[in-house]
């Protein structure tokens, strides 16, 4: 019989009983091994493709929020219509280094997301890629603390601006710079949403890497 001769040829003396499906594979060694894999793997493939699509959609949402945060913060400037000899009454994002860092970090995150969109598409088209997914996971892991740091540094300043601090004699400035404070608070919220999306992106990449 075909399968017994094939098995004795490769294993030596002992003929090993084989099931039908395996004997048909052993008897046609010229058939590529990929047909076995495509017959077994569509559910996993579909799941990974689904995760890739989720990844892509989340990236687009994160681009929107990151760029919205950067522009909302970067275009704030309020000048009060009065002034005295000692105090300035103009507020820019430039005046606070935390806000400058915020704009830079969110713009960087937005640019990185735009550049990572092709890799995300490749992960949808070829669901079993490991290299591209791992690279996306690495860069997303670096982006999480970057965006979170920028968002929470700005949030600390905004909290101070809203409430002040009596022990350090820091005056709450939001009562005068109302418009500035509102825009800045909105930008901080958008940045926190971006950071949350990055966390979900890391989890999705890790889940897609897990099943293979």
Partner 1 sequence: MLFQHHLTTFVTSCKGLLQVNKSRKPKMAKAGRMEEGGVSKAPVPVGSNKGISVIDLVLRLVGIAGTLGAAIAMGTNEQTLPFFTRFVRFDAQYDDFRSFRLFVVVNAIVSAYFVLTIPLSIIHIMRSVARGTRILLIILDTIMLALLTAGASAAASIVYLAHNGNSSTNWLPVCQQYGDFCQGASGSLIGSFGGIVVLILTILLGAMALSRLAKRIV
Site residues (CB under 8 A) for partner 1?
Answer: 7, 10-11, 16-19, 22, 33-34, 37, 87-88, 90-92, 95-98, 118, 122, 125-126, 128-134, 137-138, 141-142, 144-145, 148-157, 159-161, 165, 167-171, 173, 195-196, 199, 202-203, 205-207, 209-212
Cβ of residue 63: shortest distance to partner 1, in angstroms?
A: 19
Structure tokens at 13: 């003396």
Element (H, E) at 78: strand 77-79
Cβ of residue 141: shortest distance to partner 1, in angstroms?
A: 5
Q: What are phi and psi of 100, to 5 degrees?
A: -65, -45
**DSSP state letter for 166:** T
Give me the numbers of helices (H) and strands (E) for the chain, helices first please: 7, 2
Nearer to partner 1 by C-beta: 63 or 151? 151
Query: At CA 207, angle to CA 205 and CA 210, rounded to 5?
Result: 110
């Amino acid at each position: 019989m075909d399968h017994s001769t094939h098995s004795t040829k490769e294993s030596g003396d002992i003929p090993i009983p084989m099931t039908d499906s395996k004997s048909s594979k052993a008897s046609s060694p010229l058939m590529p091994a990929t047909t076995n894999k495509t017959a077994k793997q569509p559910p996993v493939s579909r799941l990974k493709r689904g995760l890739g699509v989720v990844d892509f959609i989340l990236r687009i949402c994160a681009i929107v929020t990151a760029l919205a945060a950067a522009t909302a913060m970067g275009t704030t400037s309020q000048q009060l219509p009065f002034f005295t000899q000692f105090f300035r009454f103009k507020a820019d994002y430039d005046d606070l280094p935390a806000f400058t860092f915020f704009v830079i970090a969110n713009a960087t995150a937005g640019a990185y997301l735009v550049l990572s969109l092709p890799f995300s598409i490749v992960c949808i088209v070829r669901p079993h890629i490991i290299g591209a997914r791992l690279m996306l996971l690495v860069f997303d892991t670096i982006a999480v603390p970057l965006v979170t740091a920028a968002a929470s540094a700005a949030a600390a300043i905004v909290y101070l601006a809203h409430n002040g601090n009596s022990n350090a004699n820091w005056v709450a400035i939001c009562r005068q710079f109302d418009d500035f404070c509102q825009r800045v608070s909105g930008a901080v919220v958008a940045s926190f949403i971006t950071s949350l999306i990055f966390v979900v992106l890391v989890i999705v990449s890790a889940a897609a890497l897990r099943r293979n």
